[in-house]
Amino acid sequence: MELMDIFVMLNDEHDQFRSMFQSLILNPRKGAAFETLRRDLAIHMEGEEKYLYPRVIATGLEDIALESIEEHLVAKTLLDDLEAIAELEG
């Protein structure tokens, strides 16, 4: 797989995750969609944090990597919030 293919794939996944988040925000009931998002997003974020961001930092673009890591923290917090809402609505 070429480098540009990887970036296209990551961008496509970001679009999919945004769409899934929007759907869950409108209907936060915990279910298969939520579990799929949580699982797939965890795998995606771990890959970026473990393999992509160290390389980005090594090229001197630390600010971009740190911003992305912050976005991951926001996503994790949003997932936790959605899970809490779903449990309250039980």
Taking only the tens place, the pLDDT of each residue in 10-47 is 899 999 999 988 888 787 666 888 889 889 999 999 99
Can you give the pLDDT at residue 19? 93
Q: Centre a 10 Å sphere on the Cβ of residue 34 and count the other Cβ atoms it contains.
A: 19
For the entire predicted model, the pTM comes to 0.79
Taking only the tens place, the pLDDT of each residue in 48-83 is 999 999 999 999 999 999 999 999 999 899 888 878
Token digits of residue 41: 């997003």
Can you give the pLDDT at residue 57? 94
Outline where 1-90 has alpha helix (H): 3-26, 32-47, 53-58, 62-89
Residue type, 78: L
How far apart (Å, rounded) are the C-alpha atoms in residues 49 and 55? 10
Q: State whether residue 50 is helix, strand or coil.
A: helix
Given a cut of 70, is residue 1 above it in pLDDT? no
